[in-house]
Structure 1
Amino acid sequence: MKRILITGAAGFLGSHLCDRFNTEGFHVIGMDNLITGDLKNIQHLFHLENFEFHHHDITNFIHIAGDLDYILHFASPASPIDYLKIPIQTLKVGSLGTHNLLGLARAKNARILIASTSEVYGDPLVHPQTEEYYGNVNAIGPRGVYDEAKRFQESLTMAYHTFHGLETRIVRIFNTYGPRMRLNDGRVIPAFMGQALRGEDLTIFGDGNQTRSFCYIDDQVEGIYRLLFSDYHLPVNIGNPDEITINEFAQEILKLTETNNKIVYHPLPINDPLQRQPDITKAKDILGWEPKVGRTEGMQITYNYFKTLSPEELKKEEHKDFSNYIK
């Protein structure tokens, strides 16, 4: 049985990856420090013989006994609320954490896939965004802690590939959604869903003409799975190129939730990207991948999930005490 380590295992993406690799017959080792993850996302796996969980911060030394065939590095705060509140931990997990995992991969002779992000493109001057675009990022702006952590992560991964001959893969993830997203984490879909379900006005930052492209979780996981087992070591965009303005998306949410809430506007945050649309030519050509789940279908599934949350869970989130992680 092949063994795979998945960091960020209790998070949104990480938990779905644990499901997929468990289904594919792997022995899955999940790892998470639970700073933003939640054990409820993987509790259904705890009874399985081929799943184990390690409560560990990957910015510290990582020990895994026995053989290891693959590593998926998905540990990182990924929402604006989180990485603006814990900027140093965000930088550490992208640098020290990535360095520890690359060292582990080298020691175990394991293939490692690094989760990067469309945020490496910043507020793009090229549209749609191709993997060859270097980006437009403000390194010292409020979003820089996340953007530059991911950019450094890519550089370090490529250095290990080039200098040590390590088997590496890099996925650039565009906006992804589905069940297990954290409500009120600052991203547009859970923010709108939470507001609609609580009967609140929908909040748009800026004039609402900025665009996003939303990929359903099952499609994202399939793209990541194919990339891991491909022979391609350079970054690959995985996302849905179906672009929509935030104004249009807010109207879709109101229709989906059958609510008549108002839409209110607030100033656009500094360096917030105005356009997001992946060019997925490489994913199509190299991986034979493209998204299958349309936004109407995917959003209905996601809304059905949020409707199952208890009134307590639907309350505005009280964020965890991150003080122990800021050193």
Structure 2
Amino acid sequence: MNRSVLFFAVLVLMFFVLSGDVRAKADLSLTASDITFSKETALAGEKIRIFGRVFNVGDEDVSGFVVFAVGGKAIGEPQPISVKVGTYDDVFIDWVFEKGSFAVGAEIIGTRPLDEDSSNNEVLRENYFVDADSDNDGVTDKEEIILGTDSLNSDTDNDGVTDKKEIALGTNPLSPDTDNDGVTDKEEIALGINPLSPDTDNDGLADKEEIALGTNSLKIDTDGDLIPDKTEVKIVFLNPNRNEWKPVGSHLASVVGAVKMAVEEGNMAVAYLFAALGFLSIIFLISRFLHKN
């Protein structure tokens, strides 16, 4: 009889144990990686959106709320969540940070049904750094320290180009003339020439020389006469701003036109005459030009 009672008791115990294992379990989960931000590099006074992603790792659909905290203090209102089994729900809240390093946390509360594993309901993401931009130039104080620029001056080298723009262009925010060609970065930017190269068009004439000469720092041959500016500067009678061949070309075009008309009319003698006279006049123009210069 005692054995029968003992056997029955064991069966009852096993029933309760097994029934406890197979019944549905409510369990929502948060980890540190589930907290993210609209910007990983924030500036003081800037509105940042804090996101939280809650996973349902249990066997029941669960609703509840998420409370966000900054520096151990709850912020804003609890954000409602509703999570189906095997899925997740995203919530967020906006917050304006001051300068500093902050621990940002999130906690799941008020679940229905009751969350049976509270060990994964609260999480903390440490060291969310918020920088300042003391001179409002778009470059953070931390970045300016690394670069060696002045965090209290938006244009450290006072060349008229902000530190932020110099960083974007690749010029030196600590030097008003990055390429040391005697033309400031601001002037080169205004002229459309390269502040990183002393000779933008690589024609052998420095940008500073071209500005003084009035030639085009972006063209090897300013006047388009097929003679490089550098060559024209070296030869006394040539001018890099004047196309030496233009008068000759115009005259040649007239001669060719006259010869063509004579040929079309069948008057070859006149055509030969025009050609000879044209050739001689071109020689005369060239010699006159050389003598004049």
With a CA cutoff of 8 Å and minimum separation of 6, indicate the structure with the bigger relative contact order: 1
Shorter-chain TM-score category? under 0.3
Larger fraction in helix: 1
Larger fraction in strand: 2
Q: Whose Rg is larger?
A: 2
Normalization by structure 1: what TM-score? 0.19
